[in-house]
Amino acid sequence: MLRETGDAVELWDRDARADHHRKQLSRFENAGGGLLFGHLDMADGSEWFIGRMGLFDPESRDPLLVDWRAPLSRSFYTATPLHPDGVDVRSTVGTRGWRVSSVVPEELSLTASRDAAPMGPSALMAAVSQHRTDRMTDIVATIQGEQDRIIRAELRGALVVQGGPGTGKTAVALHRAAYVLYEHRDRLSREGVLIVGPNPDFLRYISEVLPSLGEDSVVLTSLHTLLPGVVAHREDERDVAEVKGRLDLAKVVENAVRRREIPVRAPYVITLESDQTVRIDGRDLAALRTRMRRTRKSHNESRPTFERVFRELVARQLLSTAGRSVEVDVDPEDIADFADELALDDRLAAAIDELWPIVSPEDLVDELLRDPKLLAACAPMLDDADRALLVRTSEEGWSVSDIPLLDEAAALLGEDPRPAMRARARERAERERELEYAQGVLDLYTDTTTDDDGSEDTGVSAEQLAARQRFDDRSTVAERAESESGWTYGHVIVDEAQELTPLALRALVRRCPSRSFTLVGDINQSSAAHGSDWDTLLRPQLRSYRREDLTVNYRTPSEVMDLAARVLAHIDPRQSAPTSIRSAGEEPEIRRVGYDAMGEEIRVRADRFLEGSEGTFAVIADAELLPRLRSAIDGMGESDRKRLWFGSPRDAKGLEFDEVVLVEPGWRSERGVAESRELYVALTRATQRLAILHSTPLPTELTSGA
């Protein structure tokens, strides 16, 4: 029976509850058994269990587990013996799978029970000393005070987090994403959060952190894949990347787009399939171009309007001069009817394609960078040397520096509207068929259930019946954001933000018009000329921002950091290195090795590491040397190779490894601030042991002050 009852509502409710429980189960599985990690005994006699997510008793609704982001949990991270914040005893709970393996209490108040055991090994020290894997883990159980302050900072505006190596910038960024989604769920659950990392390796490294915290409203990307449908597979040389990253290039792309809008010289003559000839003078073309630009639509999105207006222009001219020696006024309805007929004329369609073509971002930028004359016309603000750097002469595909150029072009061009128009037409036709079918069902039902008095009441319309059969989209906000072009986010978090070019920052601002940003990085690790200080990079587009500093190094042993501090002094004598909280008990090894023996030395060290450790081993070297060094591990099993990493200093940004071998740091003879910054990055990736192998002279940064 098809009456309006509670059946349909109950069915929808059942599906919604099933979807909710599936998501909850996924959150539990992603937590990996580590739901519980803390306990608070409060001075008022209450006690609270702290975990990765909140859980409630299904009957009483009393909290069983307090979400780490809730205000009540903050004392777990900020309470100290001097400022206990109402906490008597704070306990760190260790788990293995779904079983509690340890409870380490810490007395914070003089009134705490004397039965509390003395504090054992610090949970923080245990966490920072453990072996690294190829995936980052969350730090939710060991967040420190200065980190907690940044994680919970207000959402509005732009926040810059400056932190040296090992200060937990990435961890803070990811936990801030989870926190703002919790604190501002009503807004951000609809808009989502975008996290931008420096490269695809980094995204793989952090990919499990947010799922372990129960969040699925985050999109992870890097500049390599920022623009849907385009992937950058290479890096430009530093001087080329610097020019491509300037804000001036936005105007260059705009000029290239404008040159595609009625690019012909007047008068413009068209011979239609009817052999009628139309001559359009320069004033009409100029007026048409001005009219189209005043619509404020993007180039491609203006195409349907241009087609209509141009056909009407041609129709008016043909009708006003047909059989007459002078032009006369013509009925607008006649013009519109004739313009519709002209839509079938292939020669007129070809003219429209020439005057206002549909252009892809890839075609526009490729033509711009391959044609020196076109580039000179579009970029008069650049000098000859800069324009020469921009010219593409190979088929190597897109670089990371090209992505902001393509994004600028995509914003100005817009999408080809024709596929969407066809899709809407198909959708309308499908809905009409659904309504027709639903009405048929209702008519059949009416014929068989009419009351004796001739009345009937289904309580449901054909539209309502058809709507119930349509697909109920339960995709996450992250899935929708990745599938819809032009999506804007509620908040954007950028790791290694010092690597952003001004044009790349412009692309990110386009994705977050509210300018709600968290930008984390270390300006001393910047590899670009524009990254000399945060003001130079940010002020032109983010007029105001707040700054927080991370000062404690949790990753890098003090012995390694002492060596890196010499390099930092070369970069900026005013800067102080972050303070390391632990020692590895072993000084960095610096050893001269013959160039021909370098591969064998790498193999011996890798074998020794794999036999004695469960962590990760990295070889960092100039990109030119990497293929030869990688060949040293040919023949190793797949399981062993997964724990070995090879890359350049630029590739290593944001990553960390138990043991690092830095090869030939003086390979390139030219030395500047950029090279010193890359050396600083390479030196500070190790969490346990660092070795420097060289056959060429060491950079002066490593020898001075020794």
Q: Give the annotated binding-site residues for ATP.
A: 163-170
Contact yes or no for 560/588 (Cβ under 8 A): yes
Give the total residue count for the chain.
Answer: 706
Pairing of strands 617-620, 644-647: parallel
688: its two tokens = 């346990």
Burial class (CB in 10 A: 0-12, 13-18, 19+), 175: buried
CA distance 220 to 200: 10
CA distance 205 to 173: 14
Per the annotation, where are the binding residues? 163-170
**Closest by alpha carbon to 682, among 705, 658, 661?**
661
Pairing of strands 87-96, 36-42: antiparallel
255: its two tokens = 């000029």
CA distance 492 to 331: 54
Question: Which neighbouring-strand residues pair with 278?
Answer: 270
Whether residue 357 has a cis bond before it, omega within 30° of 0: no
Residue pointed to by tokens 């002050």: 705
CA distance 224 to 377: 29
CA dihedral sign of residues 639, 219, 479, 183: positive
* Count of beta carbons in the 10 Å neighbourhood of residue 675: 20
Dump the DSSP string for 293-356: HTT---TGGGHHHHHHHHHHHHHHHHHHHTT-SS-----HHHHHHHHHHHTT-HHHHHHHHHHS
Query: Which distant-in-sequence residues (6+ apart) come within 8 Å of 483 by Cβ?
Result: 475
Whether residue 58 has a cis bond before it, omega within 30° of 0: no
Query: Which distant-in-sequence residues (6+ apart) come within 8 Å of 82 by Cβ?
Result: none
